Chains A and B, each alone.
Chain A
Amino acid sequence: MKTLLYKQLRLVCHPMTPVFCLFGAMLLIPNYPYSVTFFYVTLGLFFTFLNMREQKDIYYSALLPIRKRDTVRAAVVFAVLVEVLSAVITALFCLLSAKLQPGKDNAVGMDANLMLLGAGLVLYGVFNLVFFISLYRSGYKVGAAYLKANIAMWPLMLAAEALPHFPGLLWLNRVDAQANLRQLPILLFGVAVFAVLTLLAYRRAAQLYEKVDL
């Protein structure tokens, strides 16, 4: 697995993919729909997978002493690495935002808190599920897979941004320690959804890719 991941980083990774991970810094914008930072990370992944197709990685991987499903595993593990990295960076900017902008109230959507991180992980899980299953059905239709993943993600993003503004749910928008503690189950829910959907994505995508004639 280490070798496969090394291959992904050295040959496949598009330079913009790690750059988009830094977009967690957008949490310092006073009023902004912060879930868009997660969208940018998926855009970075799209660039990498487009790059992978254009560089004909399929034919390179086919010559290596690996099973066909290992190609899918490398792709999913790479995406997880990028998504977890971006989540960690976003978490750091949540802390920084609380420190630098006390009392900030994001009028546009979710605030920089654990609710945001939980929602981000759910979005990544949904993205992985739709994107990888769609991509490895053909092995090359990256654009169609990305479009489908976005169609699944955007309604969830809008719902997550709107949720904290409903009466009775205003605690989801708070950034104080007490509110964050109350939001902890949402983060844990996000971690679980991310893990389960990503695992399902790998299993189904690998199964589908085995049947594809290259």
Chain B
Amino acid sequence: MNAMEIRGLCKTYPAFTLKDVSFAVPQGAVMGFIGRNGAGKSTTIKSILGLVHPDAGQVEILGRDFAKDEKFIKENIGVVLGGIDFYPKKKIAVLTDVTRRFYENWDEEKYRHYLHLFAIDESKRVDQLSSGMQVKYMIALALSHNAKLLILDEPTSGLDPVSRDELTELLGRIAADGQRSVLFSTHITSDLEKCASHIAFIKDGQIQYTGTLADFRDHYAYLRQGDAPLTLEDIIVAVERRPLDENAII
């Protein structure tokens, strides 16, 4: 069963087009959604969540059509768009007090557990938390309302290597029970080597490849030079890199 299925998502902007984006996140998978800056990762995620109106396409999450069951779906997913850039001067306790009221299946015991686990001080203001802590707080909120699918847009961008390592381990552990799934966009591909089971690769608004991490490596095995194994970064750079022509610098 798939936790999420995207079919034929299209969106045209004056300078950018999302073309027929289709992929699925199997239940229990950690899917890395990769592509360079401006490839269409955030636009796809925003289209999935209804923040941007796709011109065409269908989004099915937890077996339900997003357009028809938006409220149910949002009750059962957790979304982290980078860190927190809203309500920076509010205390964490206040933000939680407001947020928890929106979820019927809010579990206060779990919330306390994750606060303790992540060492988050509720009396701090949002802008007093480091970027890594902000992402962890958002994950704590998502896990406290028993989200079955986590959608994270660039959660590791701007984090130090230790925080990134902690976060990738956390995401892997969240999906390890086989019930919860994660869709995780990033351009820091080394993070995915540690936790992703599946990959969706987007370039210029089009999906280039989607499948398991192992299949992805096999698919691009032809790019391999020498004996060194191909990293995800090698693949992306080889596919995306455009050489500067000799008149580029004037």
Contact = CB atoms under 8 A, between A and B. Distances in A.
Contact of B53 (A59, A60, A213): A213
A3 B99 CA distance: 9
Contacts of A60: 86-87
Nearest to A68: B50
A68 B85 CA distance: 19
Given A10-B94, A63-B81, A67-B71, A213 B52 contact: yes
B222 interface: no
A121 B52 CA distance: 36
Nearest to B138: A63
A65 B53 contact: no
A65 B74 contact: yes
A64 B99 contact: yes
A6 B49 contact: no
Interface string A36-68: 000000000000000000011101101111111
B97 interface: yes
Chain A, interface residues (CB within 8 Å), range? 20 to 34
B236 to A, nearest CB: 27
Nearest to B94: A10
A48 to B, nearest CB: 14
A214 interface: yes
Contact of A55 (B71, B87, B94): B87
B94 A66 contact: no
Given A56-B86, A60-B86, A65-B71, A214 B52 contact: yes
A182 interface: no
Contacts of B97: 10
A7 interface: yes
A6 B102 CA distance: 10
B121 interface: no
A77 to B, nearest CB: 16
A211 interface: yes
A6 B86 contact: no
Contact of B101 (A6, A56, A57, A213): A6
B98 A6 contact: yes
A64 B86 contact: no
B46 A214 contact: yes
A56 B51 CA distance: 14
Nearest to A58: B86
A213 B51 contact: yes
Interface in A5-25: 6-7, 10-11
Given A11-B90, A62-B49, A211-B53, 7 more contacts: A7-B101, A10-B98, A11-B87, A56-B86, A59-B86, A66-B74, A214-B46
25 contacts: A6-B98, A6-B101, A7-B98, A10-B97, A10-B98, A11-B87, A11-B90, A11-B98, A55-B86, A55-B87, A55-B89, A56-B86, A59-B81, A62-B49, A62-B81, A65-B74, A65-B75, A65-B102, A66-B74, A67-B70, A67-B71, A213-B46, A213-B52, A213-B53, A214-B52
